[in-house]
Chain A
């Protein structure tokens, strides 16, 4: 089979451009992978919250470093996120519920949305005790709002 010079030229040009496109694609992918940081030096996901006795019954305590509100009621302890589900500002405790200072989202005492642009209720995170019985919150693990850490 013989190819005309024109079709050979077309074929070679196609091979050339395809190679260039694949190479460019690989370079683009590699630069994206490079830019996506593999290590985080940001705040940790697990925070020690101290001895459980620190949290009095019926109280809601704000723990700054972890940006959570720790609440104790009859059933036990819960940790509610203080990070607004709209754009990530820290919500404040008001006489009733919580208000976001950035765009005015309002939540009730259990983090349910009462108004404003917030698309979802405030998250609750898993609470555990370390070996010495101190509280630890795991910001990497969300739990149902009703989940409570019961004390033996």
Chain B
């Protein structure tokens, strides 16, 4: 029996638990999970400062969302007659139903945060510059898909919040001067939010968008390696103020670089496990402590006052408060297009791997200010808008 189990184990894991450098390298290339990594990595990329661990955190949350999402699908019916009842069942009848929904909800919110912070980090360290332009564009797409997944998922509980947030959101699409109504009805499958819209959002949320985000995420990870690994300050041209007094000769250089690499096992893999555990623990704690909100069932005839979008869209809603098309569609669309074109428009000298380097101090400040602006609009929309979207000085 023991030899049988050993044979099964050996047939799956060609290389045993790594005991030395050699078997560690073998393990990295022979395992389907581990071979995503390079077998050897630069120590600088292992520092927290180099990545803020936000890409990995996003990936962990995406996996968590897939798992909990599939579970929720066992109990969810995408039809207006019964959708809300499914939510009540999850909350009050299904064992661990409430915590599963909480995990899904808070992981979704968390992923919006981690993907956005990841983008901020890549911008600050100029990780989007050649040869990584295409991967930056893929990253922008992943950010948009993350928001699209949030938006489509938002309708599914079929409560008041869901119904009116999506009514407002899709009417923003309708405000596009040319083809807006066509697009809006394409998304809704009807003239207003109803059973057709719920089914479409369900299919987009559970099938179409997850496949899209999975495919692009695979490209994104593949290109990280193909583009030469993570950006670190080693890529930066030497700071003229602190040039090494005796630079090594060209012949000595490659040898020196080679020596600076460390094995991905255990140095990288263990750190990844730690990040995954921290994210999971934080999410579990949050989900046990805070319940995902559920308002009364959707009612076409009664708009709640105030009717608010989810917090990460409140910045856009705040802009839409000034003009549906210019604030709600044009500014956000221009922002996404601008972000995607950024690496092709940027002509500043390459300065990689450091945040706020002298050469692109202004660009970094500008990006932070832009993000802060969206942040301020979001905070105003969340806390300082009361009934009738009137400004309140003190929210409580």
Contacts and interface: CB of A to CB of B under 8 A. Distances in A.
B131 interface: no
Main secondary structure of the interface of A (DSSP, over half): loop
A41 B189 CA distance: 10
Contact of A104 (B185, B195, B390): B390
A104 to B, nearest CB: 4
Contacts of A92: 303, 305
Interface residues of B, number: 36
Given A65-B301, A90-B301, A42 B164 contact: no
A86 B186 CA distance: 20
Interface stretch (A4-12, A49-57, A95-103): A95-103
Contacts of A43: 192, 194, 300
Interface in B179-210: 182, 185-186, 189-192, 194-196
A67 B304 CA distance: 14
B169 to A, nearest CB: 8
Contacts of B186: 32, 35-36
Q: By CB atoms of chain A within 10 A, which of B186, B195, B303 has the most?
A: B303
A37 B167 contact: no
Contact of B388 (A41, A87, A104): A104
A88 interface: yes
B168 A89 contact: yes
B172 interface: yes
Interface residues of A, number: 26
A117 interface: yes
A92 B300 CA distance: 14
B194 A42 contact: yes
A88 B168 contact: yes
A89 B321 contact: no
A72 B304 CA distance: 27
A104 B300 contact: no
A92 to B, nearest CB: 7
A42 B185 CA distance: 12
Interface string A54-94: 00000000001101000000000000000000111110100
A92 B302 CA distance: 9
25 contacts: A32-B186, A35-B186, A35-B189, A36-B185, A37-B189, A40-B190, A41-B196, A42-B190, A42-B196, A65-B301, A67-B300, A86-B171, A87-B171, A88-B171, A90-B302, A100-B388, A101-B304, A101-B305, A101-B306, A101-B387, A101-B388, A102-B306, A104-B388, A117-B320, A117-B322
Interface of B: 164, 167-168, 171-172, 174-175, 182, 185-186, 189-192, 194-196, 300-307, 317, 320-324, 328, 387-390
Given A42-B196, A89-B167, A102-B168, 6 more contacts: A41-B195, A67-B300, A87-B320, A89-B307, A101-B389, A104-B389
